[in-house]
Amino acid sequence: MMQNQQGPIHQNMHTGAVPQQLNHGGHEMFDVHEVLSGTIGTLNQYMLLRQHVKDPELMDILNRQYQFIQDEYNITVDCFTTGRDPSKRTQSYKMKQGNDFVYGLTPTQPKKPLQSVTEITDECISGLMLGSAKSSAAMKAMAACEVTNPVVRRVLADSIPNCIEMAYEISIYQNKHHYYQVPQLAQQDMQQMINAYAPSQIPPNNGMAH
């Protein structure tokens, strides 16, 4: 039975007439499955964390991100299962906060793993959210490089900046509450590293031999 199903598919591939819903490569199948499974994990994690959030601002971030991630998940499932353009267009995530960071370190208590669910704090919750966003950005970037279906590739590529924006939003929130501190190098060392590179000069004829 399996041989009868696969025969026409291989024949169509040789003639270039691949059924739309099968317009996917092998690496793509596995990588997109990883992305979708990871997204479900993120959504489940947000759902479980919601009941422990205390700060209204963090709750607003969590709810907005959850809704956006859920929409992106549905869009990805749509185009992956059909091989065609999704019924809903991809969007760009917009955070509400500014982008000001406070630099430098202030003394804090050493961090350690939780001993009980009752110890869950907004710092812990925002840290888990940040880890999920950063992991999603890396996973989707890797998957997008393996995708052969042009629609799925575009949907994944469009999603990467959104993951970065979400991670940035959470890191700003954490920084404001001193959960995420940003050390800086000494000014002399920083200046030396900033000036360590110079622009490339374009040679005549763009350096191309004739």
User: What's the chain's average pLDDT?
Assistant: 87
pLDDT tens-digit map of 149-189: 889 999 999 999 999 999 999 999 999 999 999 999 999 99
pLDDT tens-digit map of 80-104: 888 888 888 999 999 987 888 899 8
Taken in order 21, 66, 27, 5, is the CA torsion positive or negative? negative
Taking residues 8-28, report their average pLDDT. Answer: 57
What pLDDT does 207 receive?
60
Boundaries of every domain in the chain: 20-99+119-207
Split at pLDDT 50, 70, 90, the class of 1 is: very low
Q: Is the pLDDT of residue 5 over 60?
A: no
Q: If one looks up domain 20-99+119-207 in CATH, what number appears?
A: 1.20.1260.10
Please tell me the pTM assigned to this model: 0.84
d(C-alpha 57, C-alpha 176), whole Å: 12
pLDDT tens-digit map of 42-80: 999 999 999 999 999 999 999 999 999 999 999 999 988
Q: How far is CA 115 from CA 108, 122, 127, in A?
A: 19, 16, 17
What pLDDT does 56 receive?
97
